[in-house]
Amino acid sequence: QIIEATASALASGPMSGKHVIVTSGPTHEPIDPVRYIANRSSGAQGTAIARALAALGADVTFITGPADVPAPEGVRVVAVTTAREMADAVDAALPAQAAVFAAAVADWRVTSASDRKIKKTAGGLPVLEFAENTDILARVSQMTEGRPALVVGFAAETDDVIANATAKRARKMCDWIVANDVSPETGIMGGGENAVTIISENGADSWPRMDKTQVAQRLAQLMSDALA
């Protein structure tokens, strides 16, 4: 009975009937069959956001790279490895009323990737050639047709956090940027807490340092209000 009541409450939550895409975790870009380039991301913040949106009744498509934390319950999970696969999964999941791009997507992929292991004896040091990956945040933000009403990007910065994130918001043309300082000394990467600043058309709103679950719930509520 309690379970039924909860399910019923969720289905009738403030985001009921709204489809939200959430990306989360790192991407892995192969160099050869045994080596890859990765971004540090546990997936904890993206997972918490997907869970919080689902708790408000949203219909969530959760597109996740190889994360350390398990995917939340009650969402549609799409597991990917590379940035290209993530971009394709976002395309396939559209349309949506909102999108939260919390994944740490590789900016570059290795175009010289080998399908055989690069041998150390094959003459000196490896040369890696890169190409830029699709910028998922910019592409969705700049859609001329069927753009989600609310597009939220993330900015992991190590210096000039607010200035860099404000410039990123303008450049990508997304609605909000959730900016945080990932300098090693903050302990945020891989930790349970986050200290974020929300950049919107209204400027920068810095939240106190809090649990990633609390950040997620506050952001989900803000999104719910914006879409209401």
What residues make contact with a second copy under the rule CB under 8 A? 28, 31, 33-41, 104, 106-108, 115-117, 119-121, 125-126, 128, 130-132, 156-159, 164, 171, 182-184, 189
Q: Report the alpha-carbon distance of residue 147 to residue 103 in Å, rounded.
A: 19
Instruction: Determine contact, residues 109/130, Cβ cutoff 8 Å.
Output: yes
Least distance in angstroms from the C-beta of 151 to a second copy: 18
Q: What is the DSSP string of 108-161?
A: EEETT--SSPPPTTSSSS----EEEPP-HHHHHHT-SSS--SEEEEEEEESSSH
**Angle made by CA atoms 89, 95, 100, in degrees to the nearest 5:** 65
Task: Report the 10 Å Cβ neighbour count for 35.
Answer: 15
Nearest to 167 by CA among 209, 208, 145, 138: 138
Question: Which residue among 39, 133, 180, 194 is the active-site one?
Answer: 39
Nearer to a second copy, 58 or 161 (CB): 161
Least distance in angstroms from the C-beta of 210 to a second copy: 22
Least distance in angstroms from the C-beta of 117 to a second copy: 5
Which two three-digit tokens encode residue 126? 């490896």
Nearer to a second copy, 183 or 200 (CB): 183
Nearer to a second copy, 121 or 202 (CB): 121
Least distance in angstroms from the C-beta of 20 to a second copy: 25
C-alpha torsion sign, points 204, 210, 214, 215: positive
Q: Which residues does 59 contact at the CB level (< 8 Å), separation at least 6? A: 17, 18, 19, 20, 76
Least distance in angstroms from the C-beta of 115 to a second copy: 8
Nearer to a second copy, 96 or 182 (CB): 182
Is residue 202 part of the annotated active site? The answer reads: no
Burial of 167 (0-12, 13-18, 19+ CB in 10 A): middle
DSSP H or E run through 65 = none
Nearer to a second copy, 116 or 144 (CB): 116
Catalytic residues: 39
